[in-house]
Amino acid sequence: MPLTVKELSKERQLVLLCSRGVLNEQHISEIKEIMEGRLDWKEILYQGITHRTLNIMYYHLSKLGLAGKVEEEVLKAMKTQSKVYAIRNKSYFAEIAEIFKKLHEAGIRVAILKGNFLASKVYPSVETRTFNDLDFLIDVRDGDKIVKILEDLGYIQGEVDEKGDIIPSTRKQKMLQQLASNELQECLKKSDNPFTPMFQVDLNFDVLWKGNCPCKIDTPELLERAVEVDIDGARTYILDYEDFLVQLACHLYKEAALLHWINDLRDLKIYKFADILMFVEKYSSEINWDKLVSFCKRVGCEKIVYYAFYYVNLMYGEVIPQNVMAQLEPENKDYLDEYGIENQKPAKWEFDFFTRMFETCRVLEISEDMMSGTDRFWSTKKNS
C-alpha cells in the first residue's frame, strides 16, 4: 500500500508530476527519467482522463520535447482533447462576459469560483484546466433576480434528460435542491457549439454543505471582500486570495468525504489538489497566511482546510508552510481517513490515500447502509 509518491508506479508518478503548473529542474529530470522506461500508456491515459490532468500532461510533454515518446494513439487522444478544451473553455469565457454584463447592469455582485478563474489566470494554458460548467457564488437573497437574468439570456432551471433535452424543474424540485444542498437548481442553455452543446451555470449560495457541516461561513461577508478581475476581457469578481483558497479547500473536502461524490467516483480527483498547489504558487506573495488562519479559527473550519492542505503537501511537498499547518492542525487526525454523509456517523477507509485516489475499487467498500440516506434524497428529488 503506497504511502508516499515515490512508492507509486512510474505511470502514477508521471501523472502526478505532470499535474503541476510549474516544473522545476528536479521535476523535469524525474519526468525525463520516467519517460525513458517502458510505460503502460493505457493506465496513464485512464488516470489522465479521470483526474482531468491529460491536457496539462500533454502541455508539459510537448514543451519538454517528449511528446514523441508517447504511444501514438494516446498522443492522438491528448492532442484532440487539448484542442477541444481550448475551444470549449473560450466559449465559456464568452458566456461569462455576457452574463456579467447583465449582472453589472443590475448592480448584483457575484463571484466566480474554481476552474473558470483558474483556467484563465492560474494554469499555464487555457485548455490545461478543464471544467464543465460555470460556478458562481451568490447571495441567496439575489437568487430570483439572478435566475431571471439568466432566463432572459436563454437559460432554463432544470435537468437534462436522456435525449439531451432540458426538462424544466418543478417548484418542488427547486425547493428540494435549495434545502438539501448549497446551491440553487442549475441553469441550462443549449448551444450550437459542437464542443459546448450545453452551457450550465451553478449558483452556489454557500461554500460549505448542508447537514453535519461543523461550521458556518457567511456568504455576504465573502462577497463583500470580493475583488474585481478580468477574465478573457470580461469584468468579473473572485473571492479575495485567502477566501478563494479556503473555498477551494472546503470544496475539495466536501467532495472527498461525502458519499454522493464518492459513489460517482468524483471524490479524490488530482486536479482539485493541483488547483490549490497552483493557486498558492501563483499568489504566494499576495496570500496573507495569518489572515487565512485567523479567519479559519473564527468560523471553525480549521479541520476542513487542514484536510485539503495535508494531502496537497503529501502529493506535492511543502506547498503550505509548516507554521500554517501547525496552527491549523487538530488534536485528532483520524478524520483524514474517514468518509460519510450528512447527519450520519462517518466510516473509516481501509485503503490508504493513494490507493483511494487511483483505484476505482474503493467504492466497493461502501456499505448499502451508508448509501441509503443519500439515495433517498436523490430519488425523492427525481420523482418530485
Q: Which of 239, 31, 214 is nearest to 117 (CA)?
A: 239
Across the strands, what pairs with 313? none
pLDDT at 255: 92
pTM above 0.75, yes or no: yes
Residue spans of alpha helices (H) in the chain: 10-17, 25-36, 41-50, 54-63, 72-106, 115-121, 143-152, 171-180, 219-225, 241-257, 259-263, 270-282, 289-299, 302-316, 322-328, 353-358, 368-382
Confidence of residue 94 (pLDDT cuts 50, 70, 90): very high
Reduced to 3 states, what is the DSSP secondary structure of residue 231?
strand
pLDDT at 210: 78
188 close to 198: Cβ distance less than 8 angstroms: yes
d(CA 80, CA 35): 21
d(CA 76, CA 57): 13
Which residue matches cell numbers 470544496?
A: 251
Q: Which of 208, 190, 206 is nearest to 198 (CA)?
A: 190
281-300 mean pLDDT: 97
d(CA 308, CA 144): 33
Q: How many residues does the chain have?
A: 384
pLDDT at 350: 86
pLDDT at 273: 98
pLDDT at 378: 47
Neighbours of 148 (CB within 10 A): 13
pLDDT at 2: 67
Q: Which three cell numbers stand for residue 355?
A: 490507493
pLDDT at 218: 96
d(CA 254, CA 208): 7
- Provide CB contacts within 8 A for 299, sequence distance 6+: 215, 216, 217, 218
Domain limits of the chain? 5-382
Residue range 131-185, pLDDT digits in tens: 999 999 999 999 999 999 999 999 999 999 998 899 999 999 999 998 888 899 9
Across the strands, what pairs with 258? 340
Residue range 184-200, pLDDT digits in tens: 999 999 999 999 999 99
CATH class label, 5-382: alpha beta
pLDDT over 70, % of the chain: 93
126 close to 119: Cβ distance less than 8 angstroms: yes
